[in-house]
Chain A
Amino acid sequence: MAQQIKIDPVTRIEGHAKITIQLDEGGNVANARFHVTEFRGFERFCEGRPFSEMPGITPRICGICPVSHLLASAKACDQILAVDIPPAAENLRRMMNLGQIVQSHALSFFHLSAPDFLLGWETPPERRNVFGLIAAHPELARGGIRLRQFGQEVIEHLGGRKIHPAWAVPGGVRHGLSEAGREAIRAKIPEAKAVALKGIECFKEVLKTHERELQVFGNFPSLFMGLIAPDGTWEHYDGRLRFVDGGGNIIADHVDPLRYDQFIGEAVEETSYLKSPYYRPLGYPGGIYRVGPLARLNICRQMGTPLADAELTNFKSMGWGAVTSSFLYHYARLIEILASIERIERMIDDPDLASTQLRADAGINRREAVGASEAPRGTLFHHYQVDANGLIQRVNLIIATGQNNLAMNRTVTQIARHFIQGPEIPEAMLNRVEAGIRAFDPCLSCSTHASGQMALDVTLIGADGRVLDRVAR
């Protein structure tokens, strides 16, 4: 009899979601779907607001990665003004984004995902969390928490607060970095770097015993997309779009983010509030692509900093052309943390960061703009249209997590097929399915433009709709 298993909600991710696993008559997994169950409507209620308020409104989409929205929004507003922002302002914005990448990636790896593979898939759920990690690996857990704090403090020293700093504005930023802030950041760099390196060593050990996860956690060829610097270096704030295929071949390059809709289509599925973007030339659903740390490392030639470049070489050796296992999102994330810290270290002595010339001023010079930047989870687009006075007429936000939707669906199917046979629900197996989603570090509050607390509810439904089994935690 065909059956359906539901994991609802999925735990240790940011936002509300559920997974349904469809079993066929033989009790084998026929299909698995990742559903996002929240709806928010930000795009609609921004209409009619002055564009200059957008960098204040849109970060409220999310408390984890508000900086990403702040920057993408401010960049779109820069284009409406048609100005080049002062160089110091760009450097300051870059530094804040690096702080954001460090804190968000540290949260994803140490707090949310590490309990799975450091404590073990079979660990009881009540201990398989960050508190369990603190009990079992106190040094590593403390390091992870401190690393996240470092990223948050970079944001605070620049923007005045850790969450929702209304600091980037159309044309630049409000203020520079104080001498005290500079000192405080500089003092914490050595520790942050040591934790990042330790995290990398730790994950490499994990890889030695997780060959199976490497093979079945979303390991399939797909396209990868991200922003990249003109010379092929890893980029996080500006640059042009590049798409590479599963073999690492560049299939589209130097794409101005303004033309994103020629390359990215958005499909809507009945079963989820999360849209499914796809690479338009290959159609839906063939144009499946991934964004985020794995994609950014697959499209770039170098990280641009010595320690991260050494790790990139090792990372690239794990694939042919492109690294295709989604389990390696974790590794890519750690390398990006390291690269971000190295870049902050390189910038920290720049006297320009204390500049007072930080804001370009202009009127409405363009009616349409696309701001793109790399959020921790992937490329984020803010597309605005304004009237002659600067009131928002239309908003389209393309969020990193959305772009990974097709890949997340394929990942849960792959994992479910491998680990689930028959109608019984082994908890550790379901956790692996969830962990496949966690590898992508989805941010559903962002992607549905949602929030809340999570528990796990799994329901097994027979073909006749009868509830056969239910596991709650």
Chain B
Amino acid sequence: MPVRTLTIDGKPVSAVEGQTVLDAAQDAGITIPTLCHLDGVSDVGACRLCLVEVTGVSRLLPACVTKVTEGMEVRTESERLKRYRRMILELLFAERNHVCAVCVSNGRCELQNLAVAQGMDHVRFAYRFPPYEVDITHRMFGMDHNRCVLCSRCVRVCWFIEGAATKNVAGRGAGARIITDLSQPWGKSETCTSCGKCVQACPTGAKFHKGSTVAEMERDRSRLEFIVTAREKKQWIV
């Protein structure tokens, strides 16, 4: 496969053609913040946290879906990027009801960690306080739409790893929400295999093990990696 050479934050990096900027950066040990990206499933560029600057391109590009090109100059840190990332996070917090103090994922939440890492100390936008419900009709799992950031990771693991296609996105914009089958209560789903991959994939406290209390929700993403590696490389590495 042809090799492409580029620079990320001034550091020369070589990547294989077809790789994304995010992959190339990760291989080179450079961290770009992500939220909707999940190793093992395809990327959708939904959260915009991995935006980077590329010389010669006036708009910002999402690193997770931008392919490397020869001679590309990428910057992952700048005042402009910081401003955008913080704004994105603030908008995510304002959009639904994220109450970290009493959340099952407190201390283990990707959204919370990102906010800390990006120095988000307050939210400048008015909170919307939408009246979302909690679905705990499933025997083992719960879904709290108040804490959902619509990253669609649960949908992608359900379709592309488990293959059940139970989880979907309905509606548009801020009104979009994750549904089960044709918007049935989770416990009534005929396609859900109760595999729990969506729960492992969720970055916030939106999907949780039923009965979890504050800060109790631990996720083990290595299980997803294990399955993907086994399937793609025929290697069963525990």
Contacts and interface: CB of A to CB of B under 8 A. Distances in A.
A166 B212 CA distance: 11
Given A166-B214, A169-B213, A170-B211, A60 B102 contact: yes
A50 B102 contact: no
A48 B142 CA distance: 13
Contacts of A53: 102, 104, 213-214
Contact of A49 (B101, B134, B215): B134
B16 interface: no
Contacts of A140: none
Nearest to A362: B211
B133 interface: yes
B213 A48 contact: no
A57 B134 CA distance: 15
A176 interface: no
B54 interface: no
Contact of A48 (B101, B133, B212, B214): B133
B137 interface: yes
Interface string A394-406: 0000000000000
A50 B133 contact: no
Interface string B72-101: 000000000000000000000000000001
B136 interface: yes
Interface in B186-238: 187, 210-216
Interface in A40-59: 48-50, 52-53, 55-57
Contacts of B136: 50, 389-391
Interface residues of A, number: 18
Interface in A369-411: 389-391
A208 B216 CA distance: 53
Contacts of A52: 210-213
Contacts of B137: 389
Contacts of B210: 50, 52, 390
B142 A50 contact: yes
Contact of B213 (A166, A361, A389, A391): A166
Contacts of A57: 102
A60 B187 CA distance: 31
A55 B214 CA distance: 8
B39 to A, nearest CB: 30
Nearest to A361: B211
A56 B134 contact: no
A391 B134 contact: yes
A380 to B, nearest CB: 19
Contacts of B104: 53
Interface string B125-159: 00000000110110000100000000000000000
Given A56-B213, A169-B213, A48 B102 contact: no
Contacts of A49: 134
Contacts of B215: 166
B211 A56 contact: no
Nearest to B104: A53
Contact of B102 (A56, A170, A361): A56
A389 B101 CA distance: 24
Contacts of B187: 389
A405 B64 CA distance: 61
A390 B187 CA distance: 13
B165 to A, nearest CB: 24
A303 B137 CA distance: 46
A56 B142 contact: no
Contacts of A48: 133-134
12 contacts: A48-B133, A48-B134, A50-B134, A50-B136, A53-B102, A53-B104, A56-B214, A169-B213, A174-B216, A389-B187, A391-B134, A391-B136
Interface of A: 48-50, 52-53, 55-57, 60, 164, 166, 169-170, 174, 361, 389-391
A-B pairs with the 10 shortest C-beta distances?
Answer: A56-B214, A166-B214, A56-B102, A389-B136, A169-B213, A57-B102, A52-B211, A56-B213, A50-B136, A389-B137
Interface of B: 101-102, 104, 133-134, 136-137, 142, 187, 210-216
Given A166-B215, A166-B216, A170-B211, 19 more contacts: A48-B134, A50-B136, A50-B142, A52-B210, A52-B212, A53-B102, A53-B104, A53-B213, A56-B102, A56-B213, A60-B102, A164-B101, A166-B213, A166-B214, A169-B216, A361-B211, A389-B187, A390-B136, A390-B210
